[in-house]
């Protein structure tokens, strides 16, 4: 399972790098498409790993991530709904804030996910040392 988590984390890092490198060629469209893919990927990853986060002592961090996800998605969909009542140009500010929040959340999830992977690796290494004695 540790290997799968490492592959998952490195895949997210490669996607983040591709998002950044696509900006000069595809402008913001490539970055936004990559952010959508990464957001979906991280939601699935977080859903599958929430139990492990809680089990290994990262309960606050993963609950903060879920709270930020709910808030960011609510802000994004609220801006879409309010665009029916207000000028679309005015709603771009709220949408921009939601997008910036999504970028920050993606970075935050990668950070706590790496901490979890390192913690599990260290625990497995220590368990192996204790068994050998």
Q: What is the pLDDT of residues 102-127, one digit of tens each?
A: 999 999 999 999 999 999 999 888 87
Report whether pLDDT(128) > 80: no
Report whether pLDDT(71) > 80: yes
The pLDDT score that the predictor gives to residue 88 is 79
For 100, counting Cβ atoms within 10 Å of its Cβ (0-12 exposed, 13-18 middle, 19+ buried), the class is exposed
CA nearest to 110, candidates 60, 56, 38? 38
Each residue's pLDDT tens digit, 2-49? 899 999 999 999 999 999 999 998 888 999 999 999 999 999 999 999
Give the predicted TM-score (pTM) of the model: 0.90
The pLDDT score that the predictor gives to residue 87 is 84
The pLDDT score that the predictor gives to residue 64 is 97
Report whether pLDDT(93) > 70: yes
pLDDT tier for residue 132 given thresholds of 50, 70 and 90 = low
Contacts of 43 (CB under 8 A, 6+ apart): 69
- What span, in angstroms and rounded, lies between the C-alpha atoms of 113 and 103? 15
* Residue spans per domain, the chain: 2-124
The pLDDT score that the predictor gives to residue 66 is 98
């Amino acid at each position: 399972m540790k290997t799968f988590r490492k592959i998952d984390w490195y895949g997210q890092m490669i996607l983040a790098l591709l998002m950044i490198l696509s900006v000069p060629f595809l402008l913001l469209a490539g970055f936004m498409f990559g952010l959508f893919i990464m957001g979906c990927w991280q939601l699935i990853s977080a859903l599958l790993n929430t139990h492990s986060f809680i089990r290994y002592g990262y309960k606050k961090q993963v609950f903060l991530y879920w709270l930020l996800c709910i808030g960011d998605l609510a802000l994004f969909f609220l801006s879409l709904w309010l665009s029916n009542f207000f000028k679309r140009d005015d709603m771009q500010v709220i949408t921009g804030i939601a997008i910036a929040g999504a970028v920050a959340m993606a970075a935050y999830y990668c950070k706590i996910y790496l901490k979890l992977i390192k913690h599990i690796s260290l625990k497995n290494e220590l368990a192996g040392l204790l068994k050998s004695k």
